[in-house]
């Protein structure tokens, strides 16, 4: 892990892996949202992490920390934009200020 942290080795963390990590940390280990966001954000900021959507994942973790919304909705809200509208019937999208169209 230290080689990824210092950038010697490059790695990508998929959104689905981030969501699964959050789920396990929250539901199984009962880690508070603030700690989950802090720990995963630290990893995403390692020099060797090459995610093209790093800023969106970091934004999603911040939304997760400051809301009572699940991580998948937070990721969807973070990637939404006027050119990338999320279609959803979930009212949480409004709370997260996502760019959405309802079903």
Residue 85 gets which letter from DSSP? Answer: P
Of 89 and 48, the structure prediction assigns the larger pLDDT to 48
Retrieve residue 12's tokens. 């990508």
pLDDT at 59 > cutoff 90: yes
Spatial CB neighbours of 53, under 8 Å, sequence gap ≥ 6: 15, 79
Alpha-carbon distance of 16 to 40, in angstroms, equals 13
Kindly compute the dihedral angle of the four CA atoms of residues 28, 23, 66, 2, in this order, to the nearest 10 degrees: 90
Retrieve residue 48's tokens. 């060797």
Alpha helices in 6-45 (DSSP H): 15-23, 33-44
pLDDT at 52 > cutoff 90: yes
The distance of Cα 79 from the centroid of its chain, to the nearest Å, equals 10
pLDDT at 21 > cutoff 90: yes
Alpha-carbon distance of 89 to 49, in angstroms, equals 33
């Amino acid at each position: 892990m230290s080689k990824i942290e210092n950038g010697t080795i490059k790695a990508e963390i998929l959104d689905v892996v981030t969501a699964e990590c959050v789920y396990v940390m929250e539901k199984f280990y009962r880690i508070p949202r603030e700690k989950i966001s802090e720990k995963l954000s630290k990893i995403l900021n390692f020099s060797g992490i090459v995610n093209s959507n790093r800023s969106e994942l970091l934004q999603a973790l911040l939304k997760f920390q400051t809301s009572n919304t699940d991580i998948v909705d937070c990721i969807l809200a973070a990637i939404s934009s006027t050119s990338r509208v999320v279609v959803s019937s979930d009212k949480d999208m409004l709370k997260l200020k996502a760019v959405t169209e309802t079903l």
